[in-house]
Structure 1
Amino acid sequence: MTLTRSIARLTVGLAGVALLSAAFSAQARELSVSTVLSDAFPWGQAAEKWAELVEERSGGELTLRVYPNSQLVSGDQTREFSAMRSGLIDAAVGSTINWSPQVPELNLFSLPFFIPDEAAVDAVTGGEAGELVFEAIESRGVMPLAWGENGFRQVSNSRGAISQPADLDGLKIRVVGSPLFQDTFSALGADPTQMSWTDAQPALTTGAVDGQENPLSVFDVARIDQVGQVHLTLWNYMNDPLIFAVNQQVWQSLNEEQQALLRETAIEAGEWEIAMTREEESERLAAIQERGVTVTELTDEQYQAFVDATQSVYEKWTPRIGEDVVNAAQSAIDAR
């Protein structure tokens, strides 16, 4: 009788363990994270860092699976925000440029020659303007958690140095699919041509397109100089912050501890990636120059000439972005 009871108790105990294990498995959750670039680039590394921190601190209860190269939107990075908002993507580390068609306030960072330096970027994202931008994202069904950085975008071409607006006259420049980019390069006398990067590479190689614009990290890792881009101008004409975000329904389905974990790790990953991106700038520039690229740095007077040449773009786009957002950003820049 005693043996029978012991076996029964052991059976009940094992069943309890099995139930607890099943309950834990049911609680464990994996979220998909979309990003445009792989971990060869700081952008992709930011997403991987986020996933790494979540895995370390959640005890397996919550994991992030990163899908680079816009896999979840069949390579169309401009669909990323819509896909996240609709729930096809759980989370993303995305670009203000790519998300701006759905969130007009994000065009703030693409206003030409508006945000001049890193201190200004930090003042904008860390102040009232940054809060207003996050509110705009949240109002469209996505919960923003933290900032990252793709960096200032610089311009390159195959024909000659660019140090004044007249140097862009007639140059065919590949741009991303944003009307604001079209307006900016048109105002500078260039011929902006919208195309995917896949199409741009052969076009640059053959000379069908003269130039392009990208951050130094992308220029360096993608070896853009190898497609004829041997003249690079550092003009900081716009900055592209990254945003860590989660679909709002997914966010609301998480408990408070999980939400706190996602937010804290996103902030930490973002700060890590911003510091890394900035620290690597000088090293990347040196590597680019060693490969034979001629680098032009603008004087204050030359920079101002570009500001003046694009004033009409600023005036056209400020109402579309929201004057309250632009004014808050301007105040933060002035007070930095």
Structure 2
Amino acid sequence: MNSSRYLPRLTAALAGVAVVSLSLSVSSSVQARELSVSTVLSDAFPWGQAAEKWAELVAERSDGELTLRVYPNSQLVNGDQTREFSAMRSGLIDAAVGSTINWSPQVPELNLFSLPFFMPDVEAVDAVTGGAAGESVFAAIESRGVVPLAWGENGFRQLSNSQGPIDAPEDLEGLKIRVVGSPLFQDTFTALGANPTQMSWADAKPALTTGAVDGQENPLSVFDVARIDQVGQEYLTLWNYMNDPLVFAVNQQVWDSLSAEERTVLREAAEEAGAWEIAMTREQEPERLAAIKERGVTVTELDEAQHQAFVEATESVHDEWVPRIGSEIVEAARADMQGE
């Protein structure tokens, strides 16, 4: 046999295989898609861990064909967390695990969760997020060009300061308290006699360090991980005045561009990551509180009468804000909490 006769054919065949292989490789890389995900906090915090868990599950279940790249510390909005929702709606951000507080300027219904002393415990929060009111909140988000997929939780927000124990509204008189950029927070602390000062999280710690503000409010996980006691916050009041649910969400146009299978992967992964993060956040709270006490922080826990004094001091806030949130959704939340 003259092997030289077959050499050109063999060479051509091998070249064809190489081209096909290369084409498949290029096709696979083209089909693979990466979505940007914004979060305010890094994976040192449960909030950031929720986003990373979501990314992990999506990559695993899509065999790497759909991936999420997490950008913590509000990188995609230059540190201004109040711009996150608008950036996602416009398409600058593909997706986010965001706070109901930070998104409330664009979605007023989200202020439901910030009504002071409205939801007394985690059972009430779960009843609302899992009930008719929660469905209405998700519908409100979707009507503004963002698709909500699942709930997470930043936790009940507690009050800290550098001046002394706080167990009555009058103890807040004149104190400068850092708050997020929501008018509802301004009104709540004004009603309590404080001097609320709006600033981003990126600016909060420096302001606490210099004494530009006297106090702040955040969940225990944030107080603990960020070591807020190391910037003069030696007094902590546990008052559970409001909860801060998180929302896993995607830009509407991005969502519409996904296949049915990709949407299922994205939603189910968000639901699993959210449930995982909520359970973790709640389970860690006793341990975090113990660690905070061990670091020398004076912790004040309100009795029923003390708690009621704060409730009564903020009744005017409800009068002002319930109509702005929507009376129907507030009443639906009440019914959810009562098991109706």
Report the TM-score, using the length of structure 2 for normalisation. Answer: 0.95
State whether residues 79 and 200 of structure 2, in contact with CA within 8 Å, keep that contact through their aligned partners in structure 1.
no
Residues 1:246 and 2:250 aligned together? yes
Number of the residue aligned with 1:226? 230
CA distance in 2, matches of 1:279, 1:89: 31
Matched, 1:160 2:160: no
Q: 2: CA distance between counterparts of 1:269 and 1:101?
A: 26
CA distance, structure 2, for counterparts of residue 331 and residue 301 of structure 1: 25
Q: Give the conservation status (yes or no) of the 8 Å contact 2:157–2:243.
A: yes
Q: Give yes or no for contact 2:176–2:213 (8 Å, CA) kept in 1.
A: yes
**Structure 1 residue 15: deviation in Å?**
2.3
Residues 1:4 and 1:248: Cα distance change in structure 2 (over 3 Å): same
Q: Does 1:333 align with 2:334?
A: no
Which of residues 253, 266, 275 is equivalent to 2:270? 266
Q: C-alpha displacement at 1:9, in angstroms?
A: 3.6
**Following the alignment from structure 2 to structure 1, what is the Cα–Cα distance between the partners of residues 123 and 140?**
23
Give, in whole Å, the separation in 2 of the partners of 1:200 and 1:47: 23
Q: Structure 2: how far apart are the matches of 1:130 and 1:250?
A: 23
Query: What is the CA-CA distance between 1:170 and the residue it aligns to?
Result: 1.7
Q: Where does 1:6-21 land on structure 2 (aligned, <5 Å)?
A: 6-21=10-25
SS for the counterpart of 1:107 is helix
Aligned mates of 1:11, 1:202 — CA distance in 2: 63
Paired amino acid for 1:222: A
Equivalent residue number for residue 289 of structure 1: 293
Contact 2:79–2:202 (Cα < 8 Å) also in 1: no
What secondary structure does 1:318 align onto? helix
What is residue 138 of structure 2 aligned with on the other side? 134
Shift of 1:25: 1.2
- Determine which of 167, 173, 177 is the counterpart of 1:169: 173
* Residue in 1 that maps onto 2:209: 205
Q: Structure 1, unaligned stretches of length 5 or more?
A: none
Q: Deviations over 1:11-41 (max 9, x none)?
A: 3333222222221111000010110111111
Describe the SS at the equivalent of 1:241.
Answer: strand
How many angstroms apart in 2 are the aligned matches of 1:265 and 1:53? 6
Q: Is residue 109 from structure 1 mapped to residue 123 from structure 2 by the alignment?
A: no
Q: 1:26 aligns with which of 6, 13, 30?
A: 30
Q: CA deviation at 1:8?
A: 3.6
Deviation of 1:299 after TM superposition, in Å, equals 1.5
Structure 2: where are the runs of 5+ without partners?
none
Looking at structure 2, the residues matched to 199 and 6 of structure 1 have their Cα atoms a distance apart, in angstroms, of 68
Give the % identical residues: 77
Query: Offset of 1:226 from its aligned partner?
Result: 1.0
Q: 1:195 is aligned with what amino acid?
A: M
- Residue 308 of structure 1 and its aligned partner are, at CA, apart by 1.2
Separation in 2, partners of 1:126, 1:267 = 12
SS of aligned partner of 2:249: strand
Q: Partner residue of 2:95?
A: 91
Q: Secondary structure at the match of 2:338?
A: helix
Aligned to 1:298: 302
Aligned length: 336
| 3-state SS of paired residue (1:159) | coil
Displacement of 1:6: 4.3
Instruction: Provide the rounded CA distance (Å) in 2 between the counterparts of 1:36 and 1:266.
Output: 17
Paired amino acid for 2:303: T
1:307 to 299, 311, 317: 311
Deviation at 1:320, TM superposition (A): 0.9
Q: Following TM superposition, by how much is the alpha carbon of 1:301 offset from its aligned partner in structure 2, in angstroms? A: 2.1
2:193 matched residue in structure 1: 189
Question: Would you say 1:146 and 2:147 are equivalent positions?
Answer: no
Taking a change above 3 Å as real, the CA distance of residues 200 and 4 of structure 1, as seen in their structure-2 partners, is closer
Secondary structure of residue in 2 paired with 1:130: helix
CA positional deviation for 1:196: 2.8
Q: Is the 8 A contact 2:168 2:310 kept in 1?
A: yes
Q: Displacement of 1:7 after TM fit?
A: 4.0
Paired residue for 1:63?
67
Q: Between 191-200 and 130-139, report the one with greater CA deviation.
A: 191-200
Secondary structure of 1:149's aligned partner: strand
Instruction: Quote the Cα distance in structure 2 between the aligned partners of 1:307 and 1:326.
Output: 17
Deviations 1:107-146 (A, max 9, x none): 0110000011111111010111111011011111101101
